[in-house]
Structure formats: C-alpha cells, structure tokens
Amino acid sequence: MIVAQQKPVSEIAQMISDCKKVLFLGCAGCVTVCLAGGEKETDVLASAIRIKRTLESNPLEATTFTCTRQCDPEYIVGIDNLVKDVDAIVSLACGVGVQYLAERFKDKWVVPALDTKFIGGSVVHGLWEEKCGLCGECILHRTGGICPIIRCSKSILNGPCGGSQHGKCEVDKDVDCAWQLIYDRMRALGKLDKLMEIQPIKDWSKSRDGGPRKAIREDVMIDE
C-alpha cells in the first residue's frame, strides 16, 4: 500500500486560514489502512481545525466525507455537490488523490493534509515499513524476495558494500543490510549460484529516470 502520514495540524490549518467553508475529504484506500486519512482521521482533523479556528475567533464551517478512492475519477465525480459551495478541499489521500481533485475541481483550492511517504506494509499495528522503490522492472526473483533498490541504502545491485557490518548497514545500526539478508536467504535456499550470474545493467529508464510513467492494458480499455 501507499503509506502516508498526517502533516502537523497547524500546518494544514495555515493552508486554509483564509477559507470559511472547507470539505475535509478522506480516502477509503491505502491511507485508511495506514491510519492516516480514513474516515476516523478525517473526522479528527476536521474537529481539531474547527476548534482551533473557533479559538482564534475565525470560525470554520467544515464538512467531512470519505471517498471509496480518490485516485479513480469514478469515485470523485460523485462529490460534486459537496464541493460546490466550499472554498477549499483538504484531501487526506496520498498525493495522487490530491492531484485528481485539483484536476476535476479547477476553481477550488485543494491542499494536502498528508505527506505521502512510501510504498510498504505494516510490521505491527502502528508501524509501517518501506519495501519497494517502484523501479519499474522487479528483480526480486534474483534477490531472494528482498528488494535491494529500496532496502539497501545505496540501492546497489551487487552488494554488500564495504559498509556492511555484522548484518547492519553503515548508515544506521538499526537498519539491516539488505545484501546480507539477500545473501543469507539465497544461501538458505541453496541458490547462491544465482547471485553469481552476470546481470545486464539495470534499465533505469523504466524507473523515474524515464520521466512520468504510464501503464496500459488495451484489452480492458472501453471504446466510446
């Protein structure tokens, strides 16, 4: 999932300080699962900013709603009537949702309540960890299911580097050396020979180096 975290309340309040009527829009997708922008978080944020504004004698009319997803146009067409009268939309989705809203509601001030952090998963309730660097051409089959792009601090493809110490990465003693993990797992699987195979240079144009990316499946596209 996409993992995001809420910005400080005061920072969000500042973005809408001159607005009188605001829609706080949550997203029932990834940000609900990572407890950053679901229905509960949306209500809490709206409530907090409403109180703050009342205390500042600058009352705010805040409404809340949570879309199924903000990253699919189908789910934001339905909120037209909620958006009509507001001065701004505070989106509690990832950066994708914020942009979809800004595209659809051209005359509205749309601001992000979250910092979109990474693609990852939960370790325990309340803790999330980055796991994929979205490189565009997955190589996990060559690295024992451990991603060196994002879990190795240097994203090297032929580690470990000289900074690997007792299984930990030189950047932080609490960070596991991804290449140590890869080596250990490949050895346990009896597949160390796979690590010896010479690999072609990674094509970074499939990652961000190639500019903004698109994914297409023509067979499911609906012709008008």
Partner 1 sequence: MPEFEPKIVAFCCRYCAYTAADLAGSMRLQYSPNIRVVEMPCSGTIEHGLILSTFEKGVDGVYIAGCNLGDCHFLKGNVRAIKRVAAVKKILDEIGLGGERLEFFHVPASEGTKFAQVANEMTERIRQLGPSPLNKNAAGNAQKEGGQTA
Question: Which among ligand SF4, partner 1, none contacts residue 44 (Cβ within 5 to 8 A by kind)?
Answer: partner 1
Out of partner 1, ligand SF4, none, what residue 147 binds, judged by CB under 5 to 8 A for its kind, is ligand SF4
Q: Cβ closer to partner 1: 47 or 68? A: 47
Nearer to partner 1, 20 or 208 (CB): 20
Q: For the sheet with 61-67, list strands across it.
A: 61-67, 21-27, 88-91, 109-112
**Residue 139 is a binding residue for ligand SF4 (CB under 6 A):** yes
Q: CA-CA distance, 94 to 116, in Å (whole number)? A: 5
Amino acid at site 153: S
CA distance 87 to 169: 48
Q: Which of 65, 70, 73 is CA-nearest to residue 97?
A: 70
- In 56-135, where do the E strands start and end? 61-67, 88-91, 109-112, 114-124, 127-132
Collapsed DSSP state (helix, strand, coil) of residue 191:
coil
- The answer to whether 188 contacts ligand SF4 (rule: CB under 6 A) is no
Least distance between ligand SF4 and beta carbon 120 (Å):
10
CA distance 176 to 179: 9
Nearer to ligand SF4, 35 or 161 (CB): 161
Q: Which residue has the tokens 């978080």?
A: 41
Q: Which does 179 bind (CB under 5 to 8 A by kind): ligand SF4, partner 1, none?
A: ligand SF4
Q: In the bound complex, what is the minimum distance in angstroms from residue 57's beta carbon to partner 1? A: 8
Q: Looking at 76-84, 100-108, 145-153, 214-222, which segment touches ligand SF4 (CB under 6 A)?
A: 145-153
Encoded tokens for 219 = 């067979």
Q: Which residue, judged by CB position, is nearest to ligand SF4 in the bound state?
A: 169
Query: Can residue 95 be called a binding residue for ligand SF4 (CB under 6 A)?
Result: no
Residues interacting with ligand SF4, by CB under 6 A? 132-135, 138-140, 147, 149-150, 152-154, 156, 159-161, 163-164, 169-171, 177-179
